[in-house]
Amino acid sequence: FSNQYTEEQARKLGVVGWVKNTRQGTVTGQVQGPEDKVNAMKSWLSKVGSPSSRIDRTSFSNEKEISKLDFSGFSTRY
Confirm whether 57 is domain-assigned.
no
Burial of 3 (0-12, 13-18, 19+ CB in 10 A): buried
Residue 59 φ then ψ, to 5°: -140, 125
Domains identified in the chain, total number: 1
Per-residue confidence (pLDDT) for residue 2, from 0 to 100: 65
pLDDT (tens digit per residue) in 8-47 = 999 999 999 999 988 988 889 999 999 999 999 999 999 8
Of 12-16, 34-38, 53-57, 64-68, minimum mean pLDDT range: 53-57
Q: If you ran DSSP here, which 8-state letter would residue 27 be given? A: E
Closest CA to 38 of 2, 3, 74: 74
> Is 42 part of any domain?
yes
Any idea what the CATH number is for the domain that residue 24 is in?
3.30.70.100
